[in-house]
Amino acid sequence: MKTVLVTGSAGFIGYHVSKKLLERGDTVIGFDNFNAYYDAQLKENRNNMLEEQKNFTVIRGDLENVQDLEKAFQLLGSGPDTRICHLAAQAGVRHSIENPQEFIQSNIVGFGNIIELTKKNNIGGLIYASTSSVYGDNKEAPFSESHRTDAQVSLYGMTKKANELMAHTYSHLFGLPTTGLRFFTVYGPWGRPDMAMWIFTKAILAGQPIDVFNHGKMRRDFTFVDDIVEGVIRTNDTIPMARPMAADADDSQTAAPYRVYNIGNNQPVELMHLIEILEAALGRTAVKNMLPMQLGDVPATFADIEALQRDVGFRPSTPIEEGVRKFVDWYRRYHAL
């Protein structure tokens, strides 16, 4: 059993990860600021369910405030059986274009505080959320960890790439084991209201039009949240070690105890097909408002998951039809529809 500090524990992925850790007997210290980027009551509802567990404690605070974080680290302790699962961040590609300072403070300054306290407190390992957005407008598919990630097209992606660079520096200089997880379009029960699955479902049920960007020619590697959680848990249990480099190693590899993995469904779905699946699950037809590509967006994402499967023995596998059905069932229950 481990003691794990989960930042963003009241968030979508953070809630599910915390729940899974508690179910298997780990002790979880949650950390969240419950901000109003989206419905704060949804976050409170997630947190209330976690607080029903005896091995869960939550600290309310900001990543930018070192004193807030130190309270959580004091509860965590130190040693090889402690972990940081850093899932807190300011999210939203389009939100980052209009509010860059929020992202710099939360995602860069906040991450700097987390990784410095992880080193200072002799924590067993740091697992942190990155994103498929670090690939920018990558033309190669599927996206591999060996591909270039130095041509960002969103401020959000830039802040997450900065996290990966900072993590490598700490792994190289101080031997701190770090694992970055590039999530691909996560969806599922208790999801975020600012994401397409929730936005489309709400609008379709209300008979309101949905905005379909790039005239529906977007393709996304939609990944069900249970698959994301399984990937997080397995990498949490598999701390990277320093390793010698082969002569033919590519530029993405390093001798430091540092790893980065894609976690995606490895099966991109066209946006129009997703809408069709949603329509079938809801028993309603969507009114579609066809629009051009949005600033900061990319036409397609597609995860190469060979490294994840090789190192931790897992590959996401939930079919989009099954995942959408589970989300819609939860959405109806949550809103008493």
The stretch 8-28 carries a mean pLDDT of 98
Mark 284-303 as b/e (b = at least 16 C-beta within 10 Å): eebeeeeeeeeebebebbbb
Query: Residue 1: pLDDT band by 50, 70, 90 thresholds?
Result: confident
95 has pLDDT over 90 = no
171 has pLDDT over 80 = yes
Query: Residue 261: pLDDT band by 50, 70, 90 thresholds?
Result: very high
Residue 84 has a pLDDT of 98
Q: Over the chain, what is the mean pLDDT? A: 95
Query: Residue 244: pLDDT band by 50, 70, 90 thresholds?
Result: confident
Residue 5 has a pLDDT of 98
More confident residue, 23 or 249: 23
User: How many other C-beta atoms are found inside a 10 Å radius of the C-beta of residue 168?
Assistant: 17
Query: How many whole angstroms separate alpha carbon 328 and alpha carbon 111?
Result: 34
* Helix ranges, the chain (H): 12-23, 40-51, 66-76, 93-98, 100-103, 110-120, 155-174, 196-206, 225-237, 271-282, 306-312, 320-334
pLDDT in tens, 99-155: 999 999 999 999 999 999 999 999 999 999 999 999 998 889 999 999 999 988 999
* 62-76, 101-115, 237-251: least confident range: 237-251
Query: Residue 247: pLDDT band by 50, 70, 90 thresholds?
Result: low
Residue 42 has a pLDDT of 98
pLDDT in tens, 188-222: 999 999 999 999 999 999 999 999 999 989 999 99
246 has pLDDT over 80 = no
Give the rounded percent of residues in the chain with a pLDDT score beyond 90. Answer: 88
Both tokens assigned to 40: 């704060």
More confident residue, 295 or 187: 187
pLDDT in tens, 286-305: 999 999 988 888 889 999 99
Residue 231 has a pLDDT of 98
Ordered by where they begin, the domains of the chain are 3-184+225-263+303-316 (3.40.50.720)
Phi first, then psi: give them for residue 159, nearest 5 degrees.
-65, -35
Q: How distant, in Å, are the alpha carbons of 117, 215, 261, 300, 315 from that of 306? A: 32, 32, 9, 19, 8
Question: Cβ distance 52 to 93 under 8 Å?
Answer: no
Beta-bridged to residue 32, according to DSSP, are 60
Point out the residues that are catalytic.
Answer: 156
pTM: 0.95
The stretch 38-54 carries a mean pLDDT of 96
308 has pLDDT over 90 = yes
Phi first, then psi: give them for residue 289, nearest 5 degrees.
-105, 100
Both tokens assigned to 23: 């179910």
248 has pLDDT over 80 = no
52 has pLDDT over 70 = yes
92 has pLDDT over 90 = no
Query: Residue 337: pLDDT band by 50, 70, 90 thresholds?
Result: confident
Give the rounded percent of residues in the chain with a pLDDT score beyond 70. Answer: 98
